[in-house]
């Protein structure tokens, strides 16, 4: 019965990492862009760990999808920022995300086999649930630039698919 504990610990870790979400509601568009970029990079890093550690075909397929999709989103965001002739602005929320991810990466790297697969899947589900909530409920309503709002809305649709996929992966790895 360690699986439910794994989900609980992943959720607590993610919630603790982003518990400042309510405080970041005042981020400007450039700070939101940086935080979104940071969140994508973090998920890419988690996926690279998964590719190096797992033997599960399902986990590998999901990790490859995370790398492909989050890289594409970040490349698209970079093109949009260049078009708008602006740069994303680092902020405390991005730094908090990064610090939490560093801890989670260390935890994941310490696991092996099925324990790693379950922890990775649970983390991906909790991570996407949290990020999707922040993007949909806090950032999208607050973004001023129409192009950034549209872009992030399209990315959110992809991230919701990731959340569903992660949920199926969690169930399959029980």
49: CATH: 1.20.1260.10
CB 80 within 8 A of CB 151: yes
Q: Which two tokens stand for residue 87?
A: 């740069």
For the cut 50, the answer to whether the pLDDT of residue 9 exceeds it is: no
pTM of the model: 0.86
Residue-range definition of the domain harbouring residue 104: 29-172
| Helix, strand or coil, per DSSP, at residue 151 | helix
Query: How does residue 24 score in pLDDT terms, banded at 50, 70 and 90?
Result: low
In this structure, the chain runs to a length of 174
Classify residue 38: in a domain, yes or no: yes
What mean pLDDT, rounded, does the chain reach?
A: 89
Query: Is residue 24 situated within a structural domain?
Result: no
Question: Between 108 and 5, whose confidence is greater?
Answer: 108
Domain count, the chain: 1
Is 59 part of a structural domain of the chain?
yes
In a domain, 37, yes or no: yes
| Distance between first and last Cα of the chain | 9
Instruction: Give a yes or no: residue 17 inside a domain.
Output: no
């Amino acid at each position: 019965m360690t699986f439910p504990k794994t989900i609980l610990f992943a959720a607590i870790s993610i919630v603790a990492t982003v518990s400042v979400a309510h405080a970041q509601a005042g981020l400007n568009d450039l700070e939101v862009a940086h935080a979104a970029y940071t969140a994508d990079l973090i998920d890419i890093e988690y996926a690279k760990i998964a590719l190096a550690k797992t033997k599960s075909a399902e986990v590998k397929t999901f990790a490859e999808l995370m790398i492909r999709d989050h890289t594409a989103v970040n490349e698209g965001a970079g093109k949009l920022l260049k078009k708008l002739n602006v740069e994303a602005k680092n902020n405390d929320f991005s730094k908090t995300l990064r610090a939490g991810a560093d801890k989670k990466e260390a935890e994941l790297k310490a696991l092996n086999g099925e324990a790693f697969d379950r922890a990775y899947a649970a983390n991906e589900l909790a991570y996407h649930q949290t990020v999707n909530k922040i993007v949909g409920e806090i950032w999208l309503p607050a973004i001023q630039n129409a192009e950034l709002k549209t872009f992030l809305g399209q990315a959110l649709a992809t991230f919701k698919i990731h959340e569903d996929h992660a949920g199926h992966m969690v169930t399959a790895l029980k």
